[in-house]
Amino acid sequence: MSHRIFNFSAGPAMLPTEALEKSAQALVNYQGKGFGIAEVSHRGKEFEAVNDEAIARCKQLLGLGDTHDVLFLQGGATQLFTVIPLNFLHGSADYLVSGEWSKKAASFAKEVGKINTVASSEASNFDHAPPPGQWKLASDADYFHVCSNETVHGHRLVAWPQHPNLIVDASSEFLSRPHPVKDCALVYGGAQKNLGPAGVVLVLVRKDLYPKQKKVPSKLWSFKDQAENKSMINTPPTFGIYVLLEIFRWLEAQGGLAAMEKRNAAKAALLYDAIDSSNGFYKGTVSDQQQRSHMNVTYRLPSEALTDEFVKTAAAGGMMGLKGYRTVGGIRASIYNAMPVEGCQALAAFMRDFASKKS
352: pLDDT strictly greater than 80: yes
Q: Determine which one of 101, 160, 221, 250 is catalytic.
A: 101
> Distance between CA atoms of 88 and 211, rounded to whole angstroms?
10
C-beta separation of 16 from 338 below 8 A: yes
Mean pLDDT computed over 145-161: 98
Q: Extract the runs of DSSP E, i.e. beta strands, from 126-281.
A: 144-147, 149-150, 155-156, 166-169, 186-190, 201-206
Say whether 193 is catalytic: yes
Closest-CA residue to 263 (of 340, 355, 347, 181): 340
Domain 17-253 has CATH 3.40.640.10: yes
> Distance between CA atoms of 59 and 65, rounded to whole angstroms?
7
Residue 348 is predicted with a pLDDT of 98
- Give the pLDDT band of residue 76 (cuts 50, 70, 90): very high
- Give the pLDDT band of residue 276 (cuts 50, 70, 90): very high
> Distance between CA atoms of 293 and 153, rounded to whole angstroms?
9
State the greatest distance between any 2 C-alpha atoms of the chain, in Å, as a whole number: 63
1: pLDDT strictly greater than 60: no
Say whether 221 is catalytic: no
Beta-carbon contacts of residue 21 (< 8 Å; ≥ 6 apart): 1
Q: Determine which one of 59, 193, 267, 323 is catalytic.
A: 193
Say whether 169 is catalytic: yes
Domain boundaries, the chain: 17-253, 255-358
Residue 270 is predicted with a pLDDT of 98
For domain 255-358, give the fold: Aspartate Aminotransferase, domain 1 (3.90.1150)
C-beta separation of 33 from 193 below 8 A: no
Residue 327 is predicted with a pLDDT of 80
| Mean pLDDT value across the chain | 97
**What is the SS3 assignment for 187?**
strand
Q: How many helices (H) and strands (E) does the chain have?
A: 9, 14
43: pLDDT strictly greater than 80: yes
Residue 328 is predicted with a pLDDT of 86
Dump pLDDT digits (tens) for 196-252: 999 999 999 999 999 999 999 999 999 999 999 999 999 999 999 999 999 999 999
pTM over 0.95? The answer is yes
Indicate the DSSP class of residue 32: G
Indicate the DSSP class of residue 222: -
- Percent of the chain's residues with pLDDT above 90: 97
Length of the chain: 359
Q: Determine which one of 160, 169, 221, 267 is catalytic.
A: 169
**What is the SS3 assignment for 155?**
strand
